[in-house]
A = this chain, B = another copy of it.
Amino acid sequence: MYPVNTSTAARSSYHHGDLRNALARAAADLAATGGPDAVTIRGAAREVGVTPTAAYRHFSSQADLLAAARELAMNGMVVAMAEYLGQVPDDGDPVDRAIERLLSTGRGYIRFAQDEPGIFRTCFTGQLRGAADPDPGLDAMGPYALLGQMLDELVALGYLAAEHRPGAEAGPWAAVHGLALLIIDGPLRDFGPAERNAAIDQTLAMTVRGLATGPRGRAASH
C-alpha cells in the first residue's frame, strides 16, 4: 500500500518526495474531466495513492488545492492558445494580418473552452473572494496580455484610435469569454456545430467592427 509512482521525481517508499506537485497535477486532471467541482482533496489524494490528510501537509484547504489546479490550467490555456495562434500565416496586408491575429486569438480562446471545458471553467469560474491570492488577477492575465499586444498593433496601424486604446481589452475579452461560456454551459450549449460557428463568426465580426475607430478602421468595412 505504498504510494505508486504516478509520474515524476518520486522517492520510492514512505516519503513521496514530490507530493505537492503530484497532488496539483492530479487536481488538474480531475478538473479537466469534471470541472472545478471535481477537484477534491480526497480525489486527488486517492489518485496519487496517498491518504487524504496527507494532502493537508501541502495544501491548507480544498480551495488552496483548487488554486494550484487553476494555475496549471491557466498555463495549459496560454500554451494551447499560443500554439493555435502560431498557425496563422504571416502574409498579406499588415492591417488584415493584425486583424487575423486578433481573430485567431479569440478563436483560440473559444476553441480551447470547447475542447477543454473542464479546464476552462477551472480557470475562470468559482473564484473565492477572500482566498489568499498572492498576485491578485495577474495569474489570470495570460490571455489578457496577449490581447493587449494585438490591440497595440491595431493602434500602430491606425485601425483602432489611440484615444480608445486604454482599457480596450475589456470589450473583446468580454465578447469571447461570454460566448465561450454561453456555448459550454449556457443557453447556447445545444446549438449544432453550424449555428455555433455562425454565432462565433458573428460575435467576432461585431467585435472587429466595434474596434474600427481609427482612420484606417473606418475605411475598411469587413
A127's contact among B126, B185, B206, by CB below 8 Å, is which?
B185
> Which of A137, A168, A181, A200 lies at the interface centre, i.e. has the most chain B CB atoms within 10 A of its CB?
A181
Quickly give the copy total for this chain. Answer: 2
Residues 201-222 of chain A, each 1 if its beta carbon lies under 8 Å from chain B, else 0? 0110111111111000000000
Say yes or no for A186: interface residue by CB 8 A criterion.
Answer: yes
Chain B residue at minimum C-beta to C-beta distance from A187: B140
* Measured CA separation A187–B190 after assembly (Å): 27
B213→A209 contact, CB < 8 A: yes
A141 touches B187 (CB 8 A): yes
Q: Which residue of B lies closest to A212 (CB)?
A: B209
- Report, as a range, how many residues of chain A touch the other chain: 35 or more
Interface readout for A80-93 with B: 1 if CB under 8 Å, 0 if not?
00000000000000
A186 to chain B: closest CB distance in Å?
5
| CB<8 Å pairs between A and B, sample of 8 | A137-B188, A164-B202, A168-B202, A170-B203, A174-B203, A175-B178, A206-B207, A209-B213
